[in-house]
Amino acid sequence: MRLDNLLAQEKISRKSMKQALLKKEILVDGLPACSLAQNIDTGLQELLFQDRIIQGYEHTYFMLHKPAGVVTANKDKKLPTVMDLLPQHLQSEQLYAIGRLDRDTTGLLLLTDNGPLGFQLLHPQYHVDKTYQVEVNGALTPNHIQKFKDGIVFLDGTTCKPAQLEILSSSPTFSQATITISEGKFHQVKKMFLSIGVKVTSLKRTHFGPWCLDDNLQEGDYRHLNSKELTIIRDFLRKSG
């Protein structure tokens, strides 16, 4: 939650917030707050306003293993959504997925009610990498590795940022690979492989930044982030403050 919104819930005036900020009387984990727009989670961070502890609001974070056939949305009139995979008591209008996966793409999704966090993680300035396991219907060669490294160019002239392609197996009709990208253009991974003449037949996201899909999490299952994963969020909030 934004720092100013959090303090407003404590009936602190905007004028008092600004004055305290200038005087460095707002501390987050012992350090002066950078701005009133700073994203704070008092469940993970200690917030002091003029030596007074602010309890604030503790956000929710889930890891979900998205199955195929489910859309990344809160509601859909025709198709099941990722929110439908959660029990009723956990479903909330404030909960949403950070980023999206296509209907037929499986793998790692982070769900949270911390809106600013999702915006930050998806913002180009933070360069959050995403890694996918890919299967395609043709051969992959070392030449393709260089093409991805140089930046794939779509037919419409759009140039992708450099990506890392690792070939796991290759044959004339079937190849497996992993690909790591740092942006999120529409259907990007599928278009990148089409640009080199092969079609993606299976796509699974295994990593989103430093978060890794839990091997014990079956498709359609979810869990709360563990302490190590929450520490990653806390560290990110500090750096992006």
- Between helices 227-240 and 115-122, what is the axis angle to 10°? 70
Task: State how far the Cα of 63 lies from the Cα of 66, in Å rounded to an integer.
Answer: 9
Confidence at 48, pLDDT banded by 50, 70, 90: very high
Nearest to 44 by CA among 231, 210, 223: 231
Provide the pLDDT for residue 241: 66
Mean pLDDT of the chain: 93
Residue pLDDT, tens place only, 1-42: 899 999 999 999 999 999 999 999 999 999 999 999 999 999
Provide the pLDDT for residue 65: 98
Range with the poorest average pLDDT among 88-97, 107-116, 121-130: 121-130
Residue 102 falls in the annotated catalytic set: yes
Beta bridge mates, 112: 61, 96
> Does residue 200 have a pLDDT over 90?
yes
Domain boundaries, given as residue ranges, for the chain: 3-53, 61-124+210-240, 129-208
Confidence at 90, pLDDT banded by 50, 70, 90: confident
Task: State how far the Cα of 178 lies from the Cα of 210, in Å rounded to an integer.
Answer: 16
By percentage, how much of the chain surpasses pLDDT 70?
Answer: 100
Active site residue: 29, 84, 102, 104, which one?
102
Asked if the 129-208 domain carries CATH number 3.30.70.1560, the reply is yes
Same fold? 61-124+210-240, 129-208: yes
Tell me which architecture the domain covering 61-124+210-240 has in CATH.
2-Layer Sandwich (3.30)
Residue type, 86: L
Provide the pLDDT for residue 112: 95
Task: Tell how strand 96-97 and strand 106-112 pair up.
Answer: antiparallel
> Does residue 239 have a pLDDT over 90?
no
Residue pLDDT, tens place only, 98-114: 988 999 999 999 999 99
- Residue 35: CA count within 13 A, CB half-sphere: 8
In this prediction, residues 49-54 reach a mean pLDDT of 95
**CA distances to 33, 114, 120, 210, 236 from 38, in Å:** 7, 12, 11, 22, 12
Q: What 3-state DSSP class applies to 162?
A: coil
In this prediction, residues 137-152 reach a mean pLDDT of 96
